[in-house]
Structures are given as C-alpha cells and as structure tokens.
Structure 1
Amino acid sequence: MKVALSNGNDKIELPYGIKRAESYFHLALSRLHNCGLFSEDDGVFCRRCVVVGNGGVLRNKTLGEKIDSYDVVIRMNNGPVIGYEEDVGRRTTFRLFYPESIFSDPINYDPNTTVILLVFKPHDLKWLWNILSGHKINTNSFWKKPALKMIYKANQIRVLDPVIIRKTAHEWLQFPTKFPRKEKPKHPTTGLIAITMAFHICSEVHLAGFKYNFTDRNSSLHYYGNETMSEMIENGYHNIIAEQTFLKSLIDKNFVISLT
C-alpha cells in the first residue's frame, strides 16, 4: 500500500491504479511469497534484456541461440517455447500474463520462470486468490475461459504494479484518460507493457517478434498456431498502429535494438 500511495495508484481505478480494488489486492498478495523480481543477493546491476513478442516474423529466423544469450528473457501470454526452440530460444526469465492467457498444461511448466500477472479488472485478482486457495473459479467475468489451475508455484508468481501499465498507456501511447462513452477504451498490449517493464529493470533492451505485416491480412499473426493478421486488425481493444509507430520511434532513436 505504501508503494501504491507513493505512485498515486490509490487515486486511479484499474487497470492503471488500485482504487476500489484494494481489498482484492490484499487478498491476492497474501497468497504470494515475494513481491520482488530479483533476489537481494543477485548482485547484477547491468542487465541485457530481450523482450520476445509472439509475432509471426519470428518464424524461420533461427534466433533461439541469440535470445538465450541475454541475461533476462521476457515473454508474454501463452507464447510456447517447446517445439519452437530454434526460433525463440529455451529460456524464460519473466512471463507476463492475465488469467485468460496463462498456460494451464503442465507440459509448459518451467521452474526457472517468474510469471507476472497484469491486472485489468478486480476479478483478475479474485481469480489469483481463488486459484491459489483451491477455491472454485467463476468464469463468468472473463472475456474467454481463464485457466482453472495454476501450474506455477506461489513463489514464482508476482503482480505487476499498475503504474507500469499506466505509463505505457498515458506517457508512451498518449491514450486519453477518458474515452467517449460510445467508444471502446483502448489499452496497451501485453507486449508493450513488457517493454515498459524492461526499461525499469534493464540497462539494455532488445526486441524480437514485434513486427507485423498489415498489408497482408492472411499473414501469420503468431510464430505458432494458425491465427492471421485479420484478427489483430479487427481487435478493437488495442491500437496496434499507434504501438507500431511508437516502437519504430524507439528503434529509430536507438533506445532499443530490434532483432527482427
């Protein structure tokens, strides 16, 4: 709560603050063993990090060995590693997720990964509390079925400070704090939130898998699966054009290096 007060999170509602969700945060955090990302005796101050997006551009690039060479490898959602090691690597330091996007099949379990929950609604925190307490999961408040079991141990789980999501939306993408009533609010993608987090914990940030082909609606959306760009273009929840424009400016100014 002290951190939330210092960041002004107590004055802003989810997903950019904790206002009206304080009790849910208390419940969820009470089940976790740690709040920090690195151990205190880590001793590393200059970290080279790569944020690995799930874009189809990663296919057949054989960047796996290069990705694994970084100090920190950040992935998001349920982008698989198994079966795609040659293109995306094997290591995962941090994986950002929300209840609808986390792995539930134990085959994807990695004991060396810390998973970080992005909280977009109070039910996301209630989900974490229930799943770690062994309670039944009510799936009615999710846009698609969330995971019904947690394959990660409690000491591997963290909750991302909403200030990171707020900075991504308002400082980086310049999204308005209020959208017109008839317009669906836009929120940053998990990928861009992961990049914002990387700037807070890394000395050097590289990217892979963040380039999309908007000219071909039938091109591969991800390096896995069969989804096409048409599904991304029709997504009203994100502003992909704004994100791609912003990422291009980061690359052009050499703030980040893109491997793809």
Structure 2
Amino acid sequence: MIDSHHVIIRLNDAPVKEHKKDVGERTSIRLFFPESALPNPLENNDNETLMVFVPFKPLDFLWLREVLLKTRNKTKAGFWRQPPWEWNGNVSHLRILNPYVTYEATYKLLQLKTWSRRYATTGIIALNLALHMCQEVNIAGFGYPGNHDNATPIHYYNTGRSREKEV
C-alpha cells in the first residue's frame, strides 16, 4: 500500500529490503543526519532516491564535508552516536534541507523554547516538509509508544524501547 503513493519519505537508517512486505520497496526521499546516516545508502534505497541531509548543528556540516571529500575524519566528538566514517551515496542525489524547515517544525509547530535545547524529531521535520510539498499527506508508522509503555519498540526494525530515546 505504501508503494502506491507518489512520494514516499523515509527517515534515518530505517531498512527497507528485509521489511518490504510491511513497508513497501520504494523510497522517493530519505531524510538523514550524521548519526542516522547509512554508510551505503544504495543498499536500502532506490537509485533515484533523493538523500536529504538534515543539519542540526554546525558539526553536522563538517561531518558532511569530510565524508564527501573523503578526507580523514577528524570529527569524532560532539555526536550522540558515532556517525559512519564513510558515506557512499550518490552525490548527485544529495540535497541539504533548508534549516528553516527544522526551525519551523521545532519552534512553530511544536512550540519548543530556544533555551530548551530540544529539537523536532526527524519525523516531525519530515511531516512539515511533506505538508509544504504535497497536497495530501498520509502517514504510516509514525509516533512513539505511550509514555508508560516500556515494552513496545520505537521502530519496526530494532528493539529500542521508549525509555532509551531519552538518552
């Protein structure tokens, strides 16, 4: 059913191939940031998938520069999870998301305060982007388990639990 839509936006490092019965096969746009980048994005995306880089901090741009230029990565500290040292995506299909889309999702839609040092999730950012791009938006597999649900995994493809997202 997902594959029947015109534009399919996927997030972060969510795999497709081994879950295609449930999540479909097509990917039009994949949003990612350094900590969620796939080292070999073509393994789980179409050859024509637009890989959209979502910068959250200045260090993210430094990481992108290093992997694109294939320089020895000097950037090691400042990430909540170590990003891949290599990114072997199709550079001609790489785009950088206008930071205003993240700003709008964080401070306009969610109404978070700048001093909170909290940001919109990639999912909310993707939803904001889709609302700007598309006349109709359908959402599948979106949201976290309830606050007191520590048993349900956050994502379909791993066993990460709700409490772990706070770390």
Structure having the higher Rg:
1
Cross-structure match for 1:113: 49
Question: Are positions 1:204 and 2:140 aligned together?
Answer: no
Question: Are positions 1:142 and 2:79 aligned together?
Answer: yes
Cross-structure match for 1:86: 21
Cross-structure match for 2:120: 188
| Displacement after TM superposition at 1:126 (Å) | 1.2
Q: Given the two structures, how large is their TM-score scaled by the length of structure 2?
A: 0.91
| Displacement after TM superposition at 1:109 (Å) | 4.9
Code of the aligned partner of 2:24: G
Contact 1:96 1:118 in 2 (8 A): yes
Structure 1, unaligned runs of 5 or more: 1-65, 180-184, 237-260
| Displacement after TM superposition at 1:230 (Å) | 2.4
Contact 2:32 2:54 in 1 (8 A): yes
The CA distance in 2 between the partners of 1:230 and 1:141, in whole Å, is 22
Code of the aligned partner of 1:170: Y
Q: Given the two structures, how large is their TM-score scaled by the length of structure 1?
A: 0.60
Cross-structure match for 1:216: 149
Higher relative contact order (CA closer than 8 Å, sequence separation 6+) = 1
Q: Give the direction of change, closer, same or farther, for the CA distance of 1:94–1:109 in structure 2 (3 Å limit).
A: closer
| Displacement after TM superposition at 1:82 (Å) | 1.1
Deviates more, 1:125-134 or 1:211-220: 211-220
1:133-157 deviation digits (Å, cap 9, x = unpaired):
1201122232211111112121111
Task: Name the count of aligned residue pairs.
Answer: 164
Question: Are positions 1:171 and 2:108 aligned together?
Answer: yes
The CA distance in 2 between the partners of 1:211 and 1:199, in whole Å, is 17
Q: Percent sequence identity over matched residues?
A: 35
1:209-258 deviation digits (Å, cap 9, x = unpaired):
114332421112110112122223xx16xxxxxxxxxxxxxxxxxxxxxx
Structure 2, unaligned runs of 5 or more: none
Cross-structure match for 1:230: 163
Contact 2:16 2:45 in 1 (8 A): no
